[in-house]
A and B are shown apart, each in its own frame.
Chain A
């Protein structure tokens, strides 16, 4: 089936199978920042935005995003770079495998939450697993980035 989507402000026509998930289709069309981790809905690595909302691309059928606006990290490179500087400053990244999904969630949170508490931040980020850092450095970086004392 053919679907029409806007990915990172660009209209694209995609050929998708009925049972194909968005993570595979986006990668097939060159959006390689989108990655599959657990493939069960647990890890958050495959997070992209659908109509601005952070959503699991491993759990979203591609046919269902017909005529929708999608955003991957390629589409918000500048913002991602800004946030990356905070991560580097806090030594908050190790292997980096979790980063694409994590960054998409943090940037969505920045848009959605006004004056969050540390608890709000932790709650928002619980869907992004990281096997290396132990989260402490990540939390420091996110708090500074969000302007939370």
Chain B
């Protein structure tokens, strides 16, 4: 059973970070969507809700999303609906229902680097950075590989240069996790193809993206890029789908994404 022995609402990030690192069993609370299903005994639960980390803002170059922002806020944000063809609202919009998305957070999701995550796949197709309290700012791609120990995800920063972007996922039923999810973006002639829920963590299909970025775009090149993406990435089997099924889905979803960003 999930249990909490002590509960604190720090007033500064510094205080929160200090508390987090005082004991191994001290834990940051996101929306608790996942935490509550664990058997964890938390020594001190650290609630970030006094730290004003629930925001979506923009300046001339970047959009920033605070770590405590809910998925519902991402979904209905006029700013995020206006940018990148609304890829972020689209990616979170299929995750269970409105009342669930009012609970779960951006910070809890990205910090945990879940393989199945729809949001991370979409973020990776954009120019996204993660800002950690201690670890500072780094590209999302680097964070997904390296991870981090006992830090706090303060915010996500996204380069604002608008681009075409699209997100697709396949689920066994509505409300279930994605069997596979794909995000594709295009800015001028630069393509990014990202595949998640493989079921491993989202990754960019580097070769396929480079092939399209550097080559001529025609039907044959698109078909080839889809095959390249499905060959360069690794896929696995779990209760939701087999390795072979995911590989086949990858080709279909990448093609769908490419056709959309080229339309």
> Taking beta carbons and an 8 Å cutoff, which residues of A are in contact with B?
1, 17-19, 21, 40-42, 44, 47, 50, 53-56, 59-61, 63-64, 101, 105, 108-109, 123-128
Quick check: A127 and B4 within 8 Å, CB to CB?
no
Residues on B with C-beta less than 8 A from A125 are: 97
B178 to chain A, nearest CB (A): 15
A48 (CB) vs chain B CBs: closest residue: B99
Provide the bound-state CA to CA distance between A50 and B102, in Å. 10
Provide the bound-state CA to CA distance between A105 and B6, in Å. 33
Residues on B with C-beta less than 8 A from A127 are: 96-100, 175
B172 to chain A, nearest CB (A): 14
B20 to chain A, nearest CB (A): 16
Quick check: A40 and B37 within 8 Å, CB to CB?
yes
B155 within 8 A of A: no
> Which of B33, B49, B99 is most buried by chain A, counting CB atoms within 10 A of its CB?
B99
Quick check: A55 and B103 within 8 Å, CB to CB?
yes
B31 within 8 A of A: yes
Complex partner residue of B33 from A17, A54, A59, A123, CB under 8 angstroms: A59
Residues on A with C-beta less than 8 A from B5 are: 18
Provide the bound-state CA to CA distance between A128 and B49, in Å. 27
A122 (CB) vs chain B CBs: closest residue: B174
Provide the bound-state CA to CA distance between A19 and B1, in Å. 10
Quick check: B33 and A126 within 8 Å, CB to CB?
no
Determine chain B's interface SS by DSSP, over half rule: mixed
B103 (CB) vs chain A CBs: closest residue: A59
Quick check: A54 and B99 within 8 Å, CB to CB?
yes
Provide the bound-state CA to CA distance between A50 and B32, in Å. 16
Complex partner residue of B97 from A17, A18, A61, A105, CB under 8 angstroms: A105
Quick check: B4 and A42 within 8 Å, CB to CB?
no
> Taking beta carbons and an 8 Å cutoff, which residues of B are in contact with A?
2-7, 29, 31-33, 36-37, 42, 45, 47, 49, 72, 93, 96-100, 102-103, 174-175
A59 (CB) vs chain B CBs: closest residue: B103
Provide the bound-state CA to CA distance between A61 and B45, in Å. 11
Residues on B with C-beta less than 8 A from A63 are: 7, 47
Provide the bound-state CA to CA distance between A53 and B98, in Å. 9
> Which of B2, B6, B42, B103 is most buried by chain A, counting CB atoms within 10 A of its CB?
B103
A60 (CB) vs chain B CBs: closest residue: B103
Residues on B with C-beta less than 8 A from A44 are: 97, 99-100
Contacts A18-B4, A41-B100 known; list 4 others, CB within 8 Å: A44-B99, A56-B99, A123-B93, A124-B97
Quick check: A54 and B103 within 8 Å, CB to CB?
no
Quick check: B99 and A61 within 8 Å, CB to CB?
no
Residues on B with C-beta less than 8 A from A54 are: 98-99, 102
B100 to chain A, nearest CB (A): 5
Provide the bound-state CA to CA distance between A40 and B97, in Å. 13
B29 (CB) vs chain A CBs: closest residue: A61
B51 to chain A, nearest CB (A): 13
> Which of B7, B32, B102 is most buried by chain A, counting CB atoms within 10 A of its CB?
B102
- Known A-B contacts A19-B4, A63-B47, A127-B97; the reply to A55 vs B102 at CB < 8 A is yes
B34 (CB) vs chain A CBs: closest residue: A41
